């Protein structure tokens, strides 16, 4: 078991990402310095580095109210300042979902989205890009008290009329018990719909994003949270409390929003401290906790090793008072360890697959080019050596041979340029189909199908139309891309046959992720329609919100597919173009050098020296490249995925 803290491990992960971006930029510089840079490839490398820079790790806390979500977050964040940051109170506290993260491009802030934005169709995702919709409060990170005071906005609520509550979709006719109605007949609603908290905490500086959510009612009323944010989180922590046991609404949240998701999930059985009692022995307490863990695991249908017995409150107290024994006893360390090992391991794996894989492919291509350059320079040296003491006819005939070679090569370049232009033009027609304008047209056709009927039937019709159109378009694009790929391959073949280039095959355009997302949108629509019967808010409102949430997700997916396809088209011939340029430079140098020797035999020695210098430079560059590629592959060992050993939950509490 590692004895590193969560913060150290996550810090290590952050450093690893920084080393990774460092290696990618070093590779870009290397390409530039060696003259092997290619604009399209450079753009792609920049994109890949940005994926690493922008990498975020979203940890979502989901549970019924008062289970201790916010207190657990306070405990996680408290190792750096000895205080409770977010407001925690008995009963319902957190009124709106809050994302806590660090973005160094802005000063610390709390941005709040007014609840009234629920009356509009804009999805939360769209609203994120509209700064004017948010109320922006500066956070004074240097004063804890001021900051805590500012964060009290998260619990703000207000009273509105029944009509207003209905308009906001926050009134539930079917289950009146869930409504917060006062004696005066007014309805209590949150002031804010969503909060973004930008705070320079070391844990958050590493790219960790924490999502705190309010209990059941809001979860049901904000489809974006349950359709997109929670399923897209890297881990969900589901909290239960020892004092309440597992209630029906706890089970509802678990089965509706968490159980079937692919996200990594773990359950925390909070408030174990209520069992700590001087009259009970530690053995008794441990046995009670262990029994609860086992029964919780059984009820949730997960292994007992995924249920963690904790006391968030004692963890916070322990950190504030610097009490390692209490901290250990609180069980929080094991949760942190689990998060560090599993989630970070998983994220590393994703970056390895998505970024390192592609950069190393490019790097290997560059190595081949360098080896080719080295071999050609050696050939050129041998050629010049062989000319020592030879008469001018020999030099002339060799020069004639090289010149003929060069002419043949120039013809091939002409063919390449023609093919390249053709492929790029065809590529443009593909891109037009993938434009956002084309997507928006699909959406308006789908809206026509719904025709203002926000029922599950209308929703199904509308979604089916959208998914069908988008799917058909993706298939058409895949076919057309295959055509482009075949054209590209014939150019690769030409250079292989005529000039002995390595026989490469262009990568295929992979639309599988796009198809899969469309498929999942359909599944989620079906599930939503099945479940709607049980949902505790006004249905038409929810159907409409659900539709726009899915559209917004599909739009994002579309944008990504467009970006990916553009990069694919742009890079279809890149490896060949790089080889062509390299070959041309070497042929030019060779013919120039021979021409000079032909003019004046005395320059032979100078030419030999020049080529020797070029050879040494190329060899050094090759060694530098190897070092860069090695740095790219290096991964910190401690947080590798798949090594998690989870101790028996009964061990959590050691008195
Ligand atoms: N005894 C005990 N009480 C706790 C513990 N964690 C939280 N509490 C108390 O439980 C209550 C609710 O805690 P919160 O952290 O606000 O719970 P929440 O899940 O965020 O609740 P909402 O924000 O309303 O959804 C507060 O009174 C806390 O002091 C714990 O480990 N032990
Ligand atoms: Mg809370």
CA of 610 to the centre of ligand 1 (A): 75
User: What torsion, rounded to 10 degrees, do the Cα atoms 417, 418, 419, 421 define?
Assistant: 80
pLDDT of residue 46: 95
pLDDT of residue 648: 34
- What pTM, to 2 d.p., does this model score? 0.82
Q: For 2-26, what is each residue's pLDDT tens digit? A: 456 778 888 888 889 999 999 999 9
Q: For 457-475, what is each residue's pLDDT tens digit? A: 888 889 889 988 998 998 8
Mean pLDDT value of segment 85-98: 88
* Residue 536 in this model has a pLDDT that exceeds 70: no
Mean pLDDT value of segment 189-204: 92
CA of 94 to the centre of ligand 2 (A): 4
pLDDT of residue 13: 86
- Closest ligand 1 atom to the C-alpha of 155? 23
Q: Choose which residue among 66, 225, 274, 317 to substitute to test ligand 1 binding: the one with the highest number of ligand atoms within 8 A of its C-beta.
A: 66
pLDDT of residue 2: 45
pLDDT of residue 635: 62
Q: How many CB atoms lie within 10 A of CB 465?
A: 18
CA distance 120 to 142: 37
If pLDDT is split at 50, 70 and 90, which confidence band does 215 have? confident
CA of 2 to the centre of ligand 1 (A): 29
* More confidently predicted of 499 and 417: 417
* Residue 166 in this model has a pLDDT that exceeds 70: yes
Closest Cα to residue 267, out of 335, 351, 175, 198? 335
Mean pLDDT value of segment 346-369: 88
Is residue 238 helix, strand or coil?
Answer: strand
If pLDDT is split at 50, 70 and 90, which confidence band does 74 have? very high
CA of 313 to the centre of ligand 2 (A): 13
If pLDDT is split at 50, 70 and 90, which confidence band does 170 have? confident
Structure tokens at 369: 């080019």
The ligand with the least distance to the CA atom of 309 is 1
Mean pLDDT value of segment 462-490: 91
Helix axes 6-33, 604-633, angle to 10 degrees: 160
Decide: 69 in ligand 1 pocket, CB within 6 A.
Answer: yes
CA distance 548 to 447: 10
* Residue 211 in this model has a pLDDT that exceeds 80: yes
Decide: 93 in ligand 1 pocket, CB within 6 A.
Answer: yes
Query: In which element (H, E) is residue 37 found?
Result: none
Say if CB 132 and CB 71 are below 8 A apart.
Answer: no
If pLDDT is split at 50, 70 and 90, which confidence band does 495 have? very high
Phi/psi region, residue 398 (left: phi>0; alpha: psi -120 to 50; beta: rest), is alpha
User: What torsion, rounded to 10 degrees, do the Cα atoms 623, 631, 361, 431 define?
Assistant: -120
User: What torsion, rounded to 10 degrees, do the Cα atoms 286, 287, 289, 295 define?
Assistant: 160
* Residue 569 in this model has a pLDDT that exceeds 60: yes
Assign 3-class secondary structure to 242-260: CCCCCCHHHHHHHHHHHCC
CA distance 529 to 238: 25
* More confidently predicted of 520 and 267: 267
Decide: 90 in ligand 1 pocket, CB within 6 A.
Answer: yes
CA distance 315 to 333: 9
pLDDT of residue 319: 93
Q: For 100-125, what is each residue's pLDDT tens digit? A: 999 999 999 999 999 999 998 888 88
Structure tokens at 118: 């629920």
- Closest ligand 1 atom to the C-alpha of 312? 31
Q: In whole angstroms, how far apart are CA 154 and each of 87, 194, 516?
A: 8, 9, 37
Sequence-distant (≥ 6) Cβ neighbours of residue 48 within 8 angstroms? 24, 355, 358, 359
Length of the chain: 655
* Residue 174 in this model has a pLDDT that exceeds 70: no
Mean pLDDT value of segment 300-319: 96
Query: In which element (H, E) is residue 6 found?
Result: helix 6-33
- Tell me which range, 313-322, 365-374, 523-532, is most confidently predicted by mean pLDDT: 313-322
- Burial of 166 per CB tally in 10 Å (0-12, 13-18, 19+): middle
pLDDT of residue 175: 66
- Closest ligand 1 atom to the C-alpha of 212? 20
Mean pLDDT value of segment 581-607: 88
Strands of 57-62's sheet in order across: 135-138, 109-114, 192-198, 98-101, 208-212, 57-62, 235-241, 264-270, 307-309
Decide: 71 in ligand 1 pocket, CB within 6 A.
Answer: yes
Mean pLDDT value of segment 88-98: 88
CA of 299 to the centre of ligand 2 (A): 24
pLDDT of residue 636: 56
* More confidently predicted of 544 and 635: 544
Say if CB 309 and CB 289 are below 8 A apart.
Answer: yes
* Of the candidate ranges 78-92, 159-173, 640-654, the one whose mean pLDDT is the lowest: 640-654
Decide: 75 in ligand 1 pocket, CB within 6 A.
Answer: no
Say if CB 365 and CB 578 are below 8 A apart.
Answer: yes
* Residue 80 in this model has a pLDDT that exceeds 80: no
Q: For 248-300, what is each residue's pLDDT tens digit? A: 989 989 998 898 888 889 999 999 999 998 888 889 999 999 999 999 999 99
Mean pLDDT value of segment 509-525: 84
Mean pLDDT value of segment 77-101: 87
Structure tokens at 313: 């409150």
CA of 646 to the centre of ligand 1 (A): 26
Name which residue sits closest to atom 30 of ligand 1, judged by CA: 271
pLDDT of residue 314: 97
Q: What is the mean pLDDT of the chain?
A: 87
If pLDDT is split at 50, 70 and 90, which confidence band does 207 have? confident
């Amino acid at each position: 078991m590692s004895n590193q803290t969560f913060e150290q491990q996550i810090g290590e992960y952050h450093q690893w990402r920084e080393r990774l971006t460092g290696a990618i930029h070093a590779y870009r510089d290397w390409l530039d310095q060696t003259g092997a840079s290619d604009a399209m490839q450079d753009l792609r490398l920049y994109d890949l580095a940005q994926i690493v820079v922008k990498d975020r790790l979203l940890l979502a806390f989901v549970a019924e109210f008062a289970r201790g979500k916010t207190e657990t977050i306070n405990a996680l964040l408290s190792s750096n300042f000895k205080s409770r940051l977010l407001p925690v109170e008995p009963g319902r506290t957190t009124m709106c979902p809050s994302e806590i993260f660090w973005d160094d491009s802005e000063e610390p802030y709390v941005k709040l989205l007014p609840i009234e934005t629920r009356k509009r169709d804009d999805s939360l995702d769209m609203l994120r890009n509209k700064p004017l919709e948010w109320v922006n409060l500066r956070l004074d990170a240097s004063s804890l008290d001021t900051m805590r005071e500012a964060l009290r906005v998260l619990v703000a609520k207000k009273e509105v009329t029944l009509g207003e509550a209905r308009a906001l979709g926050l009134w539930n006719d079917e289950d009146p018990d869930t409504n917060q109605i006062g004696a005066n007949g007014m309805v209590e609603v949150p002031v804010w719909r969503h909060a973004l908290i930008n705070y320079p905490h070391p844990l958050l500086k590493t790219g960790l994003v924490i999502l705190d959510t309010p209990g059941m009612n809001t979860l049901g009323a904000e489809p974006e949270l349950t359709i997109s944010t929670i399923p897209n989180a890297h881990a969900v922590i589901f909290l239960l409390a020892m004092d309440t046991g597992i209630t029906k609404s706890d089970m509802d949240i678990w089965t509706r929003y968490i159980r079937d998701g692919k996200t990594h999930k773990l359950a925390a059985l909070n408030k174990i401290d209520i069992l700590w009692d001087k009259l009970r022995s530690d053995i008794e307490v441990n046995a009670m906790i262990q029994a609860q863990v086992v029964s919780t695991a059984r009820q949730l249908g997960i292994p007992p090793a995924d249920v963690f017995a904790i006391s968030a409150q004692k963890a916070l107290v322990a950190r504030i008072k610097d009490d390692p024994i209490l901290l250990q006893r609180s069980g929080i360390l094991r949760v942190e360890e689990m998060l560090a090992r599993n989630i970070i391991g998983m994220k590393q794996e994703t970056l390895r697959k998505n970024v390192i894989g592609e950069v190393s492919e490019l790097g290997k291509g560059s190595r081949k080019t360098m080896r080719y350059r080295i071999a050609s320079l050696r050939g050129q040296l041998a050629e010049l050596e062989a000319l020592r003491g030879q008469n001018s006819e020999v030099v002339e005939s060799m020069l004639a041979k090289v010149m003929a070679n060069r002419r043949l090569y120039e013809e091939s370049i002409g063919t390449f340029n023609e093919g390249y232009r053709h492929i790029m033009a065809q590529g443009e027609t593909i891109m037009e189909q993938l434009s956002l304008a084309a997507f928006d047209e699909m959406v308006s056709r789908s809206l026509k199908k719904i025709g203002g009927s926000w029922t599950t039937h209308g929703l199904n019709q509308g979604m089916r139309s959208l998914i069908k159109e988008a799917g058909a378009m993706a298939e058409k694009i895949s076919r057309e891309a295959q055509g482009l790929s075949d054209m590209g391959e014939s150019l690769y073949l030409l250079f292989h046959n005529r000039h002995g280039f390595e026989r490469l095959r262009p990568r295929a355009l992979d639309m599988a992720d796009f198809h899969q997302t469309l498929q999942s949108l359909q599944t989620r629509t079906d599930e939503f329609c099945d479940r709607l019967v049980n949902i505790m808010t006004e249905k038409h409102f929810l159907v409409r919100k659900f539709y726009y949430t899915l559209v917004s997700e599909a739009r994002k997916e579309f944008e990504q597919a467009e970006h990916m396809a553009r990069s694919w088209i742009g890079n279809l011939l890149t490896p060949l173009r790089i080889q062509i340029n390299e070959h041309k430079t070497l042929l030019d140098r060779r013919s120039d050098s021979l021409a000079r020797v032909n003019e004046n035999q005395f320059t032979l020695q100078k030419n030999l020296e020049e080529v020797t210098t070029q050879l040494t430079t190329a060899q050094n560059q090759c060694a530098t490249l190897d070092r860069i590629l090695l740095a790219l592959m290096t991964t910190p060992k401690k947080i590798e995925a798949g090594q998690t050993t989870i101790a028996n939950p009964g061990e959590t509490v050691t008195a």
